[in-house]
Structure formats: C-alpha cells, structure tokens
Amino acid sequence: MAGLVHFTTRDNAGQKRYDRDQLLAWARDRFGVELSEDDLKNLQRDEIRDRLVVYSRQRQQLAAKQHDELAKKLAALAGQPTTGDGDRPSAAIGNLASWLKEHVEADIPPAELAALDEPLLARRAWNAFYDHFSPELRRMERSLLLHLLDTAWKDHLLAMDHLRSGIGLIGYAQVDPKVEYKREGMRMFEAMWTAVDERATDLVFRMEQLDEGFVGSTWVETEAVHREAESATRLAAQEQGGAPSSNGEDVKLEPIRNRGQRVGRNDPCPCGSGKKYKNCHMRNAGSPS
C-alpha cells in the first residue's frame, strides 16, 4: 500500500497514474523477485495491488524462517559472556554480527554488540531485523506513535494545569496539597501511558484504513533541521507583522492556512476508530472543525 501511494502521480486531467519504472525497481529490491514491465502491463490498480501482495507474502515466508534463526542465535547467547580476552568480542558475537550483515544487511561491528547487555543486544538485533523486512510498517508505526504521544502529552499538561488550579481546596480535608498534587499527578501520568498503549495497539491494526495522505507521509522519514535561534530584535519585529530578511528587506509573514480537506463534526474520524470526528480526535485536539 505504501509503495502504491508513493509511486502514484496525477496526469494533466487529474487521473492517477503509476510510475511503473520506479514501482518495478522498488518491488524487485523490496521483495527480491524478478519483474519486468510486461508483468504489470495493462493491469488496474487492484490487480497490481493483488500481485504485490503475493510477492509480499512470499517475502514474509522468508522473514519467518529468518526470524526463527535469529531467535535461536539470541537464545544461544543467553548467559554466555559477550567478550573474550579483554575487549575482544567472543566468537558467538562475531557469528551474530556476520549473520546480521548477510541476512538483514545490518553492518554492526562485533565490538559494538559485545558492549551491550543481553536485553539491549536482543533489541538491537530485532530492530535491524524488522527494519529490513518491514521498513514501511516500521515508519508507519513510528509516525502513528509520535502523533499519539504528542496529543496525549498536550492533554496531560492541560489536565495538570487544571489540577494545580484546584488542588489548594484539598487543604480543607486536612490533606497536604503538595503531597496530593504529586500523588494525583503520578496517577494521571501513568493513566496517560496506559491510554497511549491501548490507543496505539488499537490503531496499528487499522492503518490500512487510514487515508492515503497519512500512508504517503510515512514513506520518507522527516529530516531534522537545526536552525539558529532568532534574536530578540527579530522576534519583536515578527510580532509586529514583519521580519527583516538577510538582505535588509522586510518580509511579509503569510498567515497559516489549512488547505487540506476539512472533516465534518459528524463525519467518521480519519483515524479509523469508527467514532464520529467530534467524539474522537476533534475532542483530543480541543479545536472546532
């Protein structure tokens, strides 16, 4: 699904068209199959999707075998020393590093693996495994989880503000407000994590029902860009409606507009929960649609 969305373009008439050359190149590399233009020639969208699903299932059969093999290698390392004499990695660590490089294309130095304890070593190996066999799903999961965390954290901060504004009344019950604030704040914090866990588990199985915009946005990881902090003078000028550019000219700030498709209050929520938008993410966002 991610591949189909990513390699879909629109012609001058607005009709969807596939970039078949890049789609074929991606499918050959992603699923390890031999494909030519004739294999996808004159096929409709659903037919192309069904063909790619077949290749994907064949790839997952290979992944299942490699999964069992990696599990056996990690089980064999349990309880064994990860290093030999001094800082020299043991033979078992060297074999694991060679296996990861050969089967999941993860070039991890043996010395780096030897420096990890058993839980971190297993996590590093499994992360490399899933990044190789399910890269699109991993990016979709990461994007979904970051969205849920962002929403839950903002709601938690708002709830903590409300708690702080009314916690003083607890003193009438002969209870220390500071102690009660810490206790209730910790309970709310743990409840936030529980809600994130349940929500992520629920939505991760519905990602295929989300819109193409979300699926396409998870194809490429967002690149972190570090910008220099603005000076106080520049910030003050921006607040007054203009900001000086590098050549000394004033740059008019454009207002932020939502150009995407708007979701009605009673429409189904785009997250796929089955609830109305006003009872789901509209309530979480705290802003009207």
pLDDT of residue 225: 42
The DSSP element (H or E) to which 200 belongs, if any, is helix 177-204
- Distances in Å between the Cα of 93 and the Cα atoms of 71, 74, 87, 108 are 14, 10, 12, 11
CATH numeric code, 136-217 = 1.10.3060.10
Sequence ranges of the domains in the chain: 2-133, 136-217
Q: Is the pLDDT of residue 90 over 90?
A: no
pLDDT of residue 221: 45
Angstrom distance (rounded) from CA 84 to CA 115 = 12
Burial class (CB in 10 A: 0-12, 13-18, 19+), 271: buried
Q: Is the pLDDT of residue 236 over 80?
A: no
pLDDT digits (tens, 9 = 90+) for 4-38: 777 777 667 767 777 777 888 888 888 888 888 78
Q: Is the pLDDT of residue 152 over 80?
A: yes
